[in-house]
Structure 1
Amino acid sequence: MNETAAASASAAEDGEPDRGAADSAGPADATDPDPVVVGEGVRKSYGEVVALDGVEIRVEPGEVFGLIGPNGAGKTTLVRALTGTTEAEGDLRVFGVPPREVDPQRIGLLPQSFDPPERLTAVELVDYYGGLYDAARDTDPVLRDVGMADDADAWYETLSGGQQRRTCVATAIVNDPDLLFLDEPTTGIDPAGRRSIHRLIERLAGDGTTVFLTSHAMDEVERLADRVALLRDGAVVAVGAPDELIAEHGGEPSLAVALDGPADEAAVEAVQEALSDGAAEEDAPGVESTPEGLRIGGVRPEEIGDAVDALDAAGVAFESLAWSEPSLEDVYLRLTGEEYSPRSEAGSGSGTFDETAPDGGDR
């Protein structure tokens, strides 16, 4: 069993107080004015490598909070600190108390790496995890929630990767948690299954569950999260609603021009000159070569025809055009760098940063 999951399971088995006794940790409904999660000046090091470097974070009741960042940025370390499975410096509070003092009945946790017993069926696994809590949901509706009702009696080891992940999601929600941590919840799940999990997360949040979502799928975070924090080199470098981050950091809409390969410098200059003809220099769209052809930035939908005329004038024959608005992925790439190498900057530790912590967990 994954260390993080094992810690949560053993805490529940140790006879912690039930939900009614958790009032000292603060109510979890959306009317609660106090934040569910607070982290101030959170720091964690593994030897000389700094995993968390003064993280500031606040999660409000009932919101879906997304955490994104490159591998090795410190995301999993932060989740482990907030769930009380690793020690960290700074002020960390969950429901108003230190993470290790929170009633585990109130927490649901799906770690990125999760290895339940393979010779149990899906229903047996959910039954087992449900049995760790004083008041768990019935297993059948939980399996229906994650789309596993038809395969409930199949051994875990015979399930596909996506079916295994759905079963793991079921073990995280069987206790009907007030705060749900999901680390890459849809990894390996097919598009239909992802959509089902997305609807489940939206429904849980609508019913008052606070969701802390970590994912590398930017479309997933953009769809689900009320607010997003981007973690880089162990520090939060941007936080806000997805549309706010996109407006501030995402850049302009662009037109992707597919050629038979990257455009050469002469083609880029010719298209740029054609676009600049008659326009002020600061108003002319920017042109750059891409692995697939060309990218023309700052093109509004009504200006696509002008871009096509400029391509014709420059003698550039294209295969297809694709117009797009900026997205959370553009924010991610802009703030981390497309070729970003974690911990490579001066003064930030050693040149490389392995995601595996010395104790075997992920950072």
Structure 2
Amino acid sequence: MEAVVEATDLERTYGETVALARASLTVERGEVFGLIGPNGAGKTTLVRALTGTTEPDAGSARVLGTEPSAVDRDRLGVLPQDFSPPDRLTARELIDYYAGLYDDARDPDDVLAAVGLADADDTWYENLSGGQQRRACVGSILVNDPDVLFLDEPTTGIDPAGRRTIWTLVEDLAAEGTTVVLTTHDMAEAEHLADRVGLLADGQIVAQGSPEELVATHGGSSRLTIETTADPDAFADLEYPVERAATRRRSTNTDAVIVRDVTPAEIGTVVDYLEARDLEYTGLTWAEPDLEDVYLALADDAERERTTSADDRTPTETATAGETA
């Protein structure tokens, strides 16, 4: 396969802040690469380095075989997270304006239809809903029919129906050979769209692979969530690992326990255990590990490593760091 986007050991600092620390990735033609990570992990800086709007301190980047700043702009589409067009342009005027910047632009009507704004084409940007505004922004970077798309949080503020429209659009573009690099905090979005995902933490890509590979390696075990006020100690003789549900996990609450490594066929065994011991419960939910579990596990690991590194510094080092922060 042909590498279209490459980053090799990219480094970038802003004063004492390390934004990128030897970050590396490769994206092939027609691939959707999802970049995930905590706020401040360096995702936007990495995208800027790959699009030529930020110069790295060290390392190298190449897009379409050349340095990012030298790429033919007709072949790129870049959607920043904070892109804000003029309020007093209609959706059509916005798309027409960007289409006018290129010699061989797509038909604005096709673009408006593709992002689901055909019926709102005469509405001023300021009067569009938040989701419609974001779709208009996505449309503005598609008018040149780019070979490579960089999307920084493309569905921020978009309602579920609009999000599905953008997802379908990205899938169609990739099927036609467009290479897509997107950042997102939506793990469902990354899992749905990305052929491969890279998790960025503290300026480094600490893991990458297909969502399935990452879940298999880092996602942990299946979990059966039992909504009950019973303490985990009440499950001492159950043959499966049991823990109190953590409040950080979605679809759980503090009045619940999690039973690990239970297959769907074994749920009945747990129910029999509950009933035999008169343990009251109000609901059962079984789930396989997903990309959110991977994110939480790896982000926690990176945070612990950073905290440990800070704790291991000498008093002099700690004092110096405090003085320069």
Q: TM-score, normalised by structure 1?
A: 0.80
Moved over 6 A (4+): 348-351
The 3-state SS of whatever aligns with 1:36 is: strand
The 3-state SS of whatever aligns with 1:200 is: helix
2:251 corresponding residue in structure 1 = none
2:81 corresponding residue in structure 1 = 112
Are the equivalent residues in 2 in contact too, given 1:53–1:234 (CA < 8 A)?
A: yes
Paired letter, 1:148? L
Shift of residue 345 of structure 1?
5.4
Are the equivalent residues in 2 in contact too, given 1:70–1:342 (CA < 8 A)?
A: no
Q: 1:217 to 1:84 in 2, by over 3 A?
A: same
The alignment yields a C-alpha RMSD, in angstroms, of 2.2
Q: 1:133 to 1:201 in 2, by over 3 A?
A: same
2:321 corresponding residue in structure 1 = none
Q: Distance in 2 between matches of 1:38 and 1:219?
A: 25
Once the two structures are superposed, the pairs formed by residues 178-193 of structure 1 within 5 Å of their partners are: 178-193=147-162
Q: Distance in 1 between matches of 2:137 and 2:273?
A: 53
1:293 counterpart = 2:262: no
Shift of residue 338 of structure 1?
9.4
The 3-state SS of whatever aligns with 1:275 is: coil
1:346 corresponding residue in structure 2 = 309
Q: 1:178 to 1:345 in 2, by over 3 A?
A: farther
1:79 counterpart = 2:58: no
Q: Distance in 2 between matches of 1:298 and 1:60?
A: 36
1:270 counterpart = 2:234: yes
Paired letter, 1:83? T
1:237 counterpart = 2:193: no
Q: Distance in 2 between matches of 1:344 and 1:175?
A: 46
2:22 corresponding residue in structure 1 = 54
Shift of residue 66 of structure 1?
0.6
1:304 corresponding residue in structure 2 = 267
Any unmatched runs of 5+ in structure 1?
1-32, 277-283, 352-363
Are the equivalent residues in 2 in contact too, given 1:274–1:310 (CA < 8 A)?
A: no
Are the equivalent residues in 2 in contact too, given 1:274–1:313 (CA < 8 A)?
A: no
Shift of residue 286 of structure 1?
3.2
The 3-state SS of whatever aligns with 2:280 is: coil
The percentage of counterpart residues that share the same residue type is 55
The 3-state SS of whatever aligns with 1:337 is: helix
Shift of residue 122 of structure 1?
0.4
Are the equivalent residues in 2 in contact too, given 1:73–1:232 (CA < 8 A)?
A: yes
Q: Distance in 2 between matches of 1:109 and 1:341?
A: 34
Paired letter, 1:41? D
Moved more, 116-125 or 336-345: 336-345
Once the two structures are superposed, the pairs formed by residues 121-200 of structure 1 within 5 Å of their partners are: 121-200=90-169
Are the equivalent residues in 2 in contact too, given 1:73–1:342 (CA < 8 A)?
A: no
Q: TM-score, normalised by structure 2?
A: 0.89
Any unmatched runs of 5+ in structure 2?
247-253, 319-325
